[in-house]
Amino acid sequence: MGAEPDFVLEIDCLGSCLYVRGVDADGTALPVLMRGAGLAYAAAVRQALAEVGYDDLPRDGAFVLSVIAPPGVPLGTVIERLGISKQAAGALVDKLADRNYLRRVADPWDRRQHRVRLTARGADAAAVIRGAVEQIDAKLVARVGEEYLAHTLATLTTLIADA
């Protein structure tokens, strides 16, 4: 029999338990910390966008604008990175296009495919998003140092790559 888990999160669903190993000094599981970190970034991004009048972005809109920031990203790449159904991603892209954050263009090499490009409004919003993220990153560096932040990024990149 294996060693006892470092942390046990009980789930009422069918009386089962989820065992999580990665915990912080207070015993908080890594997935809980990652969710909290994501929420902290999301709140900062939403606040920065609202301050400059971009308060009409739908849920996941800021993420889409960040993914599309490199010019002419294939629509399939956006859908894949969102991790949602094609229908939901299509509806989100439609909303962003209706609100003048992006536009769909035909792929010049494959007429069956579409690409999405930022409008001027979308590019400006993407810059605001990037600035908000950079501010949080700078605060993190000030609190924990560049080396710890680099280790965190490497760890999360590995986790995502191995998923």
pLDDT band, very low/low/confident/very high, at 122 (cuts 50, 70, 90): very high
Contact between 119 and 102 (Cβ < 8 Å): yes
Contact between 20 and 5 (Cβ < 8 Å): yes
What sign does the CA torsion over 76, 79, 83, 89 have? negative
pLDDT at residue 24 is higher than 70: no
Q: Tokens in use for 63? A: 């993420």
pTM of the model: 0.75
pLDDT at residue 135 is higher than 80: yes
Q: Using one digit for the tens of pLDDT, what is the confidence trace for 47-102?
A: 999 999 999 999 889 988 887 766 666 777 777 777 888 888 889 989 999 999 99
Mean pLDDT of 9-16: 38
Residue 96 to residue 60: CA distance in whole angstroms: 10
Q: Lowest-confidence range among 8-17, 95-104, 133-142?
A: 8-17
